[in-house]
Amino acid sequence: MHTQPLKVQIENFRAIQKAQIQIDDITVIAGVNGSGKSTVSKFAYQVIKTAVHFDELVEGYYSQIIRREMAHISIVVSELYASLPNGTLDENELRFRHDLRFFERQQKGGEAQDSDRLAYMIKFKDFLNSIRPYFSQENLNIQPDINESRQNRLKKSLTEKLKINDDSLTILDLLERLKIHLHNILAIPFETKDNRPIDFAEFILKNTFESPLISKSINVFESDVPILDKTKNSIGQVFSIEHVFYLDTPMMLGLTGEENDHRSDLDAVLRKKSSSQTNKSFIESHIKSEIIKGEVESDETNFSQESFVYKRLDGSVFDLLDCATGLKSFAIIQLLLQRGLLTDKTLLIIDEPEAHLHPQWVVEYARMVVLLNKELGVRFLIASHHPDMVSAIKYIGEKENPSANVNFYLAEKSTSDNYQYVYNHLGTDIEAIFASFNAAFDKLDEYGETHKL
């Protein structure tokens, strides 16, 4: 049992009237299509991911803004140089000019890193300070060779950049404003990282849910402490999770350019080279030797490192994109294991893991879930429609790891609203889930001749 249980709480959001779902060792949620299971998965993923990777998300977001700023600054710098009389730059300024050209080449070649951009912005601020004297009124008066039309062009590019419509401002004023503008841009990411404002979570969640969420009664808790702290307007820390992944289809493996956050997130981590601290557990060798009869790896021969290959035990090698979809379900787990990403600080959220699997592999998958929890402490939140997945998790779990805290939930139609669902906690009793599965037999009896021998 994990010492820091997580809990997803959702009320009156989309199809969910009420859900309080505890994620301890293994949690399975069941329910008909449209009962909000994916909403639970996506919401839990986005909130936990935002809390765990907050700093990286902030850096990623502001690097886009900084990238846009860089494009403007390059124009302004060119204008500044063109406006200055020849021979006026000292050694430091010349060095900056050299750095600038180098950076611009990197930027064009796509080699510039976010940290390079940040460092450049700081240098640029210093540069602005150093060239101030050249644009003082006194200097402009005694330097008639500073071309007037150039000055006007510089003023225009600065006013456009700063979105200012005031002709009375001098170049010096505008450079001062530019400095303040740059300071703000540089300061915001640091302040955001320090304050962890809840608005940032709203911004991240908006991409998935497209509606204001913070005002709604939805949250994720760790040990009963809310992650979205609405009283302090901040996003709390999650201590018990370092990695969270959301797998909604095995077909997400090996596809690049995915628009869905969770798919591109997984793609990014799987494309990184294996860490030296891989979990060489027997689960990995069981998947390799007993289930998929081979191993999935990054394609080392591919220069761009943008594909995976399946190496079968007999030595044959196949592009993973050409392999069976069911195999990819296990391949994702295999790759996560190889990269040391499945630990007691990992939460795996999986929607319908049974999709694309033969019933035998459904049971193998369920066993793998139980063993990953037992051996490595990986936590699971699973949405399932499959009787074998549900029963295998229960009964294999009871045999392999009786002390694990396994919880089943069933989304049942609300008594007050025909379009909404209430998630009932079943503990380990899966009878209600099976009653819901068995409704399919009533349909079969209604539409077919099932009673005939």
- Taking the least distance from each CB to other proteins, the nearer of 319 and 398 is 398
Contact 191, 198 (CB under 8 A): no
Alpha-carbon gap, residue 101 to 436, rounded angstroms = 67
142 binds other proteins (CB under 8 A): no
Sorted by sequence, the CB contacts under 8 Å of residue 166 that are 6+ apart come out as 159
Contact between 86 and other proteins (CB under 8 A)? no
In 3D, which of 3, 46, 27 has the Cα closest to residue 239?
3
Least separation in angstroms between CB 232 and other proteins: 46
257: alpha, beta or left? (left if phi > 0; alpha if psi -120 to 50): left
Q: Report if residue 427 touches other proteins, rule: CB under 8 A.
A: no
Q: Which segments of 84-131 does DSSP mark as H helices, in order?
A: 91-109, 114-131
CA dihedral for 333, 338, 344, 349, sign (positive or negative) = negative
Is the Cβ of residue 104 or residue 412 nearer to other proteins in the bound state?
Answer: 412
Q: Which residues within the stretch 362-401 sit at the binding site for other proteins (CB under 8 A)?
A: 387, 391, 395
Strands 225-226 and 218-222, bridge-based pairing: antiparallel
Contact 356, 327 (CB under 8 A): no
450 counts as binding other proteins under rule CB under 8 A: yes
* Residue 441 within binding range of other proteins, rule CB under 8 A: yes
Please report, as a single letter, which amino acid is at residue 249.
T
Considering CB under 8 A, how many residues would be counted as binding other proteins?
18
Q: Please tell me whether residue 432 binds other proteins under the rule CB under 8 A.
A: yes
d(CA 278, CA 288): 15
**Cβ closest to other proteins, residue 144 vs residue 448:** 448
CA distance 140 to 430: 83
Quick check: 306 binds other proteins (CB under 8 A)?
Answer: no
Which lies closer to other proteins via its Cβ, residue 244 or residue 390?
Answer: 390
Candidates 23-31, 47-55, 228-236, 438-446; binding stretch for other proteins (CB under 8 A)? 438-446
Residues 6+ apart with CB under 8 A from 272: 339
Name, in order, each residue with C-beta under 8 angstroms of 321's C-beta and a sequence gap of 6 or more.
254, 255, 307
CB of residue 444 to other proteins, shortest distance in Å: 6
Q: Is residue 360 within the footprint of other proteins (CB under 8 A)?
A: no
Nearest distance, CB of residue 437 and other proteins, angstroms:
6
Least spacing, CB of residue 451 vs other proteins, in Å: 5
Closer by beta carbon to other proteins, 314 or else 449: 449
Question: Looking at 107-115, 180-188, 291-299, 433-441, which segment touches other proteins (CB under 8 A)?
Answer: 433-441
Footprint of other proteins on this chain (CB under 8 A)?
Answer: 387, 391, 395, 429-432, 434-435, 437-438, 441, 444-445, 450-453
